[in-house]
Structure 1
Amino acid sequence: MRRIAFLSVLFCATCHIALGLSIPDGLLPNGDFEYGPKKSELNGTVVLGRYAVPKWEISGFVEYIKSGQKQGDMLLVVPAGAYAVRLGNEASIKQRIKVIKGMYYSLTFSAARTCAQEEKLNVSVAPDSGVLPMQTLYSSNGWDSYAWAFQADYDVADIVIHNPGVEEDPACGPLIDSVAIRALYPPRPTNTNLLKNYGFEEGPYVFPNTSWGVLIPPNIEDDHSPLPGWMVESLKAVKYIDSNHFSVPEGKRAVELVAGKESAIAQIVRTVPGKTYTLTFAVGDASNSCEGSMIVEAFAGRDTVKVPYESKGKGGFKRAVLKFVAVSTRTRIMFFSTFYTMRSDDFSSLCGPVLDDVKLVSVRHPRRMY
């Protein structure tokens, strides 16, 4: 019945897309904020009027920022295009879009801290919401791209990005730029692999004009994960990377474990107690000057293996295997990096080993493994 329901959703998705009723993958209308308020709707940088920013509805203290603008000794830089918005105390931006009821979607947006340190953002599409911490910077230019997923309960969705912080200076809020969406098609296990989305090919929208990947936030459950099938079971994010900007072992997408043991992903699979399984996976580097000794730790229930990888920061990978006997009907498969690593050309940017092409199969004749 679940398979029939899933096929029905796909059929509906195809129908809606063919009719042009749902928004396509990519930037939301004016998602890069290049179309700004009229001069009469600005007081300096402060936006006046609820609908002054085309295609968006704003609430609270919102500023329209031009790249290169100065704030004290700080230079505000916009990574794509020339403009962004800044959310002050309790401020928010909202856009209503057409979606397909029952479908999963992932939002991707770029954000940067300004003068506040303990910043966070609340992202919501009712009834789902999530708080994304921004305390850790992963790229040297101050901008990171984040992903957040939701399931559409209705045929329209109100996308809201809200700054819940309260600072003495309301102009200390985060900058927001390049808001995009991508429909997600939840993968299923197959006869040749018990893991879903084993190559990480299904995931959030990656901006073609940025080179820092997309962060999958911590504590994301697999039901609404931007990385379908996988849970981010950690205090810090994992990074979703693409082959256009990074070295990827297999296919077009992979995951970079960028925050040591605080950056872990996991998936729970059905297993048969007493049966033997093999877990194989690729470990490498993203060709992003992430150099040195790395170790990826893989867990399958009670069994574990540590896979060392000596990175020169120029790409490459090795394959590893973990054989285990299942002890329950469900087995947790988990990966994290043992060490913290910084890029050799940028000591302010976290990096780490790349994980890709993860496969789990049962072994009919375990003795043949020796």
Structure 2
Amino acid sequence: MLAMAAGSALLLLVLCTASGMALAITDGLLPNGNFERGPAPSQLRGTQVLGAAAIPSWQTSGFVEYIPSGKKQGDMVLVVPEGSYAVRLGNEASIRQRLAGTTRGARYALTFSAARTCAQAERLNVSASGQSAVLPMQTMYSSNGWDSYAWAWVADADADVVDVVIHNPGVADDPACGPLIDSVAIRTLNPPRRTNKNLVKNGDFEEGPYIIPGTRWGVLIPSMVVDDHSPLPGWMVESLKAVKYIDSDHFAVPRGRRAVELLAGRESAIAQVIRTVPGRQYALSFTVGDASNGCRGSLMVEAYAGRESTKVAYESAGRGGAAKRAVLPFRAASVRTRVVFFSSFYSTRSEDMSSLCGPVLDDVAVVSVRARRPAVVKRG
């Protein structure tokens, strides 16, 4: 009986393979997404990768280097954030991986870690399913030299496979000069919906990009991200600087497992457009706290809902103190109302005085407030 069952399972596997059936994409690191499996010694010239398929599970083009942790570049030590190896992309170099099992029309978020090694104006072009974005790396938000970035796309309706590409469009004087890449991961995004209890989609920020376990610097939601391709469903980053997506495993989160840290003063804003009824009264509520990451001092969140605004001050000891709940009443002026949040001040972590930080935003809600009818006075 066991032999028959094993034979049936093997036959099913063979039939699925022969028919081209693909398993659904699994949240987490891509195959060899941390680059711990590297080229054979014969496929390396120093650190330069020789051959497009030398790195298992990846295709490379241009000048790509396989960098071990502790490798020196002049007087600078190249630090690998996870494991022992990463790749460096030179001028016009790229890495590519083909993913099977994408669901047509589904949204996916790519997470990867990157670090500058040379130029101040390094940037990366990320693409999939004919969609792309250029992610600037001028601002480094963490003191260890690494940041994790997220980017999202919608799977092509005509294909169940997709090529994910990370490309360095740089033209540095040194052709080998370029960003380090490590820990490439993916997550399927579930589109949030409005409810009769909250007009804000994903107000608790529980739906968002994959956060790589063990990374203590969160994930940046890049600047100028619009709703259709936001790795933080429902939300837009309309500012010049990124906001940081954080988790309760490594930070203090006011409620649930995820929240957003507003990093760069007025240059780091998050927004959402909600449906409203003109003339109706609403209440915007939200929670402010600190991430327990050494961001000490006077923090302040500014909130806007249509024509109304408020400022919420928060004194932070940098250790994840009690969060503060705030409410902003407003009357809708149109069928669409923009809700916006940003930090009033620039702040840096007290541990290094260089890493940008700010107040934590969580548990955002908008509800309709029905006016109480005046009591009827009976006259005798």
TM-score normalized by structure 1? 0.93
8 Å Cα contact 1:269/1:333 also seen in 2: yes
CA distance in 1, matches of 2:373, 2:182: 56
Counterpart of 1:110 in structure 2 is 113
2:345 paired with 1:342: no
| One-letter identity of the residue aligned with 2:110 | L
| One-letter identity of the residue aligned with 1:190 | T
CA distance in 2, matches of 1:131, 1:150: 13
2:136 paired with 1:133: yes
**Ranges in structure 2 where 5+ consecutive residues have no aligned partner:** 1-20, 375-380
Q: 1:358 to 1:54 in 2, by over 3 A?
A: same
Tell me the SS of whatever aligns to 1:346. Answer: coil
CA distance in 1, matches of 2:183, 2:324: 35
CA distance in 2, matches of 1:67, 1:366: 65
What do residues 21-60 of structure 1 show as CA deviations (whole Å, max 9, x unaligned)? 1220000000000000111111100000011011000010
8 Å Cα contact 2:206/2:256 also seen in 1: yes
Q: How much identity, in percent, do the aligned residues show?
A: 71
Counterpart of 1:62 in structure 2 is 64
| One-letter identity of the residue aligned with 1:325 | R
8 Å Cα contact 2:129/2:154 also seen in 1: no
For this pair of structures, how many residues does the alignment match? Answer: 350
2:155 paired with 1:160: no
What do residues 133-167 of structure 1 show as CA deviations (whole Å, max 9, x unaligned)? 00101111100000000000121110000000011
2:304 paired with 1:299: yes
CA distance in 2, matches of 1:256, 1:366: 37
2:263 paired with 1:258: yes
Alpha-carbon distance, 1:170 to partner? 1.8
Alpha-carbon distance, 1:73 to partner? 0.5
Tell me the SS of whatever aligns to 1:348. Answer: coil
How does 1:1-370 map onto structure 2 within 5 Å? 21-98=23-100, 99-153=102-156, 154-316=159-321, 317-365=323-371
What do residues 260-291 of structure 1 show as CA deviations (whole Å, max 9, x unaligned)? 10000000011011100000000010000100
CA distance in 1, matches of 2:277, 2:25: 42
| One-letter identity of the residue aligned with 1:243 | S
| One-letter identity of the residue aligned with 1:216 | I
Q: 1:363 to 1:70 in 2, by over 3 A?
A: same
What do residues 296-340 of structure 1 show as CA deviations (whole Å, max 9, x unaligned)? 000001110011111111112100000010001100000000100
Alpha-carbon distance, 1:251 to partner? 0.3
CA distance in 2, matches of 1:171, 1:164: 12
CA distance in 2, matches of 1:192, 1:87: 47
Counterpart of 2:378 in structure 1 is none
Tell me the SS of whatever aligns to 1:135. Answer: coil
Counterpart of 1:9 in structure 2 is none
**Ranges in structure 1 where 5+ consecutive residues have no aligned partner:** 1-18
CA distance in 2, matches of 1:342, 1:32: 30
CA distance in 1, matches of 2:248, 2:39: 37
| One-letter identity of the residue aligned with 2:80 | V
Counterpart of 1:11 in structure 2 is none
CA distance in 2, matches of 1:182, 1:22: 11
CA distance in 2, matches of 1:173, 1:97: 25
Q: 1:53 to 1:346 in 2, by over 3 A?
A: same
Alpha-carbon distance, 1:346 to partner? 1.4
Tell me the SS of whatever aligns to 1:255. Answer: strand
CA distance in 2, matches of 1:354, 1:197: 16
Alpha-carbon distance, 1:366 to partner? 5.7
8 Å Cα contact 1:276/1:366 also seen in 2: no
CA distance in 2, matches of 1:208, 1:366: 49
Alpha-carbon distance, 1:20 to partner? 6.2
CA distance in 1, matches of 2:129, 2:139: 27
| One-letter identity of the residue aligned with 1:136 | T
8 Å Cα contact 2:348/2:354 also seen in 1: yes
8 Å Cα contact 1:68/1:76 also seen in 2: yes
What do residues 169-209 of structure 1 show as CA deviations (whole Å, max 9, x unaligned)? 12220000000000000100001000000100000000111
| One-letter identity of the residue aligned with 1:245 | H
CA distance in 2, matches of 1:230, 1:246: 21
CA distance in 1, matches of 2:41, 2:28: 29
Q: 1:232 to 1:102 in 2, by over 3 A?
A: same
| One-letter identity of the residue aligned with 1:139 | S
